[in-house]
């Protein structure tokens, strides 16, 4: 029990104090609450690092996010999806502030006073992430220089017929330094939203079984017998007393 308490205390210390050396992370994992721009999930002002999760079902299904900037800023936006066969086609729309609403015809309502810029897949990079080896695929990885101040909207919509989950990473650096707590949070949410691979479902159970087996072995192994000290045959000393 003492060892377990030490491990838990050390882990909590890493989670709490590890986040002090990296970006403040915004995590948005709303279901379908942000499916119209009036209910866009807010990233606040001048986002530095944000992880945005969502699931899209049929064609035209969309999730909106919004943020504001008061000075020019460069943002890196990456869109990841689950590696699974299917007709899932997520697309990214960046709505920049503008005097009038313009842009291509899209299958969802457009935020007012914006200009819509649509981005399709520009990469196809598969990778695994986290201790459970969740398989992901990067579809969009772009850098944007935002010069117009004001309110921006981001939208991810499905141009395909199949359903799927996505993760949108928004950061001010191309390779943000995530805190330890952000790493754990990302692994956890990614496992929930994208699901575990069938090949990794048994890993936690095997680890738990191995831990229980090791504990039982250590608990029931008898202690080695102590060596008995040899008994020394002491010679009796006879004292002769002379009588006078």
Q: What is the pLDDT of residue 231?
A: 56
- Determine the 3-state secondary structure of 82 from DSSP: strand
- Determine the 3-state secondary structure of 101 from DSSP: coil
Q: What is the pLDDT of residue 203?
A: 56
Q: What is the pLDDT of residue 244?
A: 47
| Alpha helices, H only, the chain | 2-18, 180-194, 203-220
Q: What is the pLDDT of residue 234?
A: 53
Beta strands in the chain (DSSP E): 25-28, 41-45, 49-56, 62-69, 73-82, 90-97, 114-119, 125-129, 134-146, 150-158, 164-171
Query: How much is the pTM?
Result: 0.70
Q: Hey, what CATH topology would domain 21-200 get?
A: Jelly Rolls (2.60.120)
Specify which residues 77 forms β-bridges with.
Answer: 142, 170
Q: What is the pLDDT of residue 142?
A: 96
pLDDT digits (tens, 9 = 90+) for 150-186: 999 999 999 999 999 999 999 988 777 777 787 788 8
Chain-centre distance of CA 123, in angstroms?
A: 21
Stated length of the chain: 244
Ranges of residues in the chain with a pLDDT under 70 are 1-32, 85, 196-206, 220-244
Q: What is the token pair recorded at 43?
A: 């990233």
């Amino acid at each position: 029990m003492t060892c377990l308490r030490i491990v838990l205390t050390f882990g909590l210390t890493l989670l709490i104090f590890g986040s002090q050396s990296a970006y403040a992370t915004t995590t948005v994992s709303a279901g379908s609450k942000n499916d119209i721009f009036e209910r866009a999930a807010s990233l606040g002002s001048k986002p530095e690092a944000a992880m945005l999760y969502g699931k899209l079902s049929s064609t035209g299904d969309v999730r909106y996010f919004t943020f504001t900037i008061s000075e020019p800023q460069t943002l890196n936006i990456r869109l990841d999806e689950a590696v699974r066969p299917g007709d899932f086609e997520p697309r990214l729309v960046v709505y920049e502030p503008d005097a009038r609403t313009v842009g291509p015809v899209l299958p969802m309502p457009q935020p007012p006073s914006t200009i819509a810029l649509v981005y399709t897949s520009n990469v196809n990079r598969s990778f695994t992430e986290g201790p459970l080896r969740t398989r992901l695929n990067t579809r969009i990885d772009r850098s944007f220089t935002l010069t117009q101040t004001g309110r921006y909207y981001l939208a991810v919509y499905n141009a395909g017929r199949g359903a799927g989950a996505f993760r949108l990473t928004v950061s001010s650096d191309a390779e943000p330094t995530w805190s330890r707590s952000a790493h754990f949070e990302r692994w956890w949410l990614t496992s929930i939203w994208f699901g575990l691979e069938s090949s990794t479902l048994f890993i936690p159970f095997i680890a738990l079984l191995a831990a229980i087996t090791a504990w039982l072995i250590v608990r029931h192994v008898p202690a080695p017998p102590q060596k008995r000290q040899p008994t020394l045959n002491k010679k009796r000393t006879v004292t002769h007393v002379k009588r006078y």
